[in-house]
Structure 1
Amino acid sequence: MPVRRALLRATGQAIALAAVLCGCAAAPDPGGVPVLRPEVLAEVPHDTAAFTQGFEFDGDALYEGTGLAGLSQLRELDPATGDVRRSVPVPDGMFGEGITVVDDRIWQLTWRDGVAIEWDKATFALRREVAVDGEGWGLCRDGDRLVRSDGTDRLRFHDPATFAETGSVAVTRDGAPVDELNELECVDGRVWANVWQSDEIVRIDPADGVVDAVVDATGLLPDDRRDGADVLNGIAHAGGDEYLLTGKLWPTAFRVRLDPPG
């Protein structure tokens, strides 16, 4: 996406290109799943008051859903500067969670309020609230279905028009369950998921729930910049092998390159 990349590179806050945490080549962990390290390309400022729960590009717009009861919002951000272009509060003081764009709408989960919120993308007007069974954590669109995480080791599938649940799959890594799956990003038939309270992102095949790659983002936000910051949580696909990664209350979002196998 040349326009998007140009916007990201334009920010005066960006660090020099090709700053690298570590080589991006995959190396197998003891169980055989390839482990990747992100190659940092640039930085974009991020609002340290944003308790990030959902993070997604749609064209050249960057959308963010934030959490905390009474403080939750749906936002559109300037992808070059991180500035908030517009925002709307989540109704009734509910605790907002993951978001995903579906054509002219945006779905936003709530944590334990038992509803998913449908917004009009153009106006940010509330269209409706739909009952959801269980907790809401992460959300993304995988073709003709939505994928939801709920803090367990399952990914749940939903109809993008009605939000009716249509099935689920258990997630495993080397045969063991992987729970606390958090913010999600669907890319080319795979689901990338933050693992809550860790610096790992797992890539999941939603056909069978098997983790087929892991991102080790240890040190992405250095210790000397972590004052007040919470966990890694925010994956926005920027096109090709580039992603924008951030976290709850982080001061920056990192544009990175990931080069997973397959």
Structure 2
Amino acid sequence: MSSSETATTTTTTTSNKAPAAPEARAAEIVREYGPFDGVECVGGVTHDGQRVWAAGGARLFAFDPESGERTRTLDRAADAGTAFDGKHLYQIAEQRIDKIDPATGDVLRSIPAPGHGSDSGLTWAEGSLWVGQYRDRKIHQIDPETGAVVRTIESNRFVTGVTWVDGELWHGTWEGDESDIRRIDPASGAVLERLQMPQGAGVSGLEYDGAGLFYAGGGGSGKVRAVRRPRAGAPAA
């Protein structure tokens, strides 16, 4: 059921006045999945503890990260970020975010997306949804019940996927032919760490699996890539 009410927005904006980004290290891609039949573009990506879910435009689908085989397909609009809260999926579909029962595919609730169609990444953390705004170079923390914006963090690159890792905020970027996965200070927006993707390997969605890997949507390649999270304190290559 779609919400017909306009969410009340209370926004705290943190500007990025940080120094230049640190030197990037090469992203370690450990596996590629896809392209998948019938999927021309992969948007959002999430992980439910067992399966990887990916937004494939007209469908939301899941695959086994061990075998690479598709295990579920839900006929739900899925053109951007995807998230999992431990029980339900959340999916950006144009100007709304749908809360979906993964067992049945039923949409349980819809809330307005803060970018009104310009939203990109999506993740769940600390009882909130976090939404990337692509060309606005922002990440919004929003109330999952109303869509109200609670807080805004600014980046200095186009924001695609968003994920939290052990209290660290990471997001994907994609401008032109360059894409990276970066860790930023959630208070200031300062860039703390960067993983540079190979030329042509864009990041359209991002999620951490809790076991050492980021899963990154590959946009028009139709692929999902598993990228190793660097060990804390590991030097740049």
TM-score normalised according to structure 2 size:
0.76
1:4-44 Cα shifts (integer Å, max 9, x gaps): xxxxxxxxxxxxxxxxxxxxxxxxxx946142212233343
Q: In 2, Cα distance between the equivalents of 1:141 and 1:41?
A: 25
Partner of 1:55: 45
1:140 aligns with 2:126: no
| AA at the equivalent of 2:172 | N
Identity of matched residues, %:
22
| AA at the equivalent of 2:65 | P
User: In the alignment, which of 25, 31, 42 is matched to residue 36 of structure 1?
Assistant: 25
Partner of 2:74: 88
CA pair 251-103 structure 1, distance change in 2 beyond 3 A: closer
| AA at the equivalent of 1:200 | D
Give ranges in structure 1 of 5+ residues lacking alignment: 1-29, 172-177, 222-230
User: In the alignment, which of 39, 44, 59 is matched to residue 73 of structure 1?
Assistant: 59
Q: How many residues align?
A: 209
Structure 1 vs Structure 2 CA RMSD? 2.6
User: In the alignment, which of 100, 105, 111 is matched to residue 83 of structure 2?
Assistant: 100
Q: In 2, Cα distance between the equivalents of 1:132 and 1:50?
A: 24
Q: In 2, Cα distance between the equivalents of 1:257 and 1:102?
A: 22
Query: Which gives a bigger RCO, structure 1 or 2 (Cα 8 Å, sep 6+)?
Result: 2
Q: In 1, Cα distance between the equivalents of 2:64 and 2:35?
A: 10
CA pair 170-244 structure 1, distance change in 2 beyond 3 A: closer
Give ranges in structure 2 of 5+ residues lacking alignment: 1-18
**Is the Cα–Cα contact under 8 Å of residues 110 and 136 in structure 1 kept in the other structure?**
no
| AA at the equivalent of 1:85 | T
Greater gyration radius: 1
Shift of 1:252: 4.5
Partner of 1:155: 139
Partner of 2:110: 129
Q: In 1, Cα distance between the equivalents of 2:85 and 2:127?
A: 10
TM-score normalised according to structure 1 size:
0.69
Partner of 2:218: 247
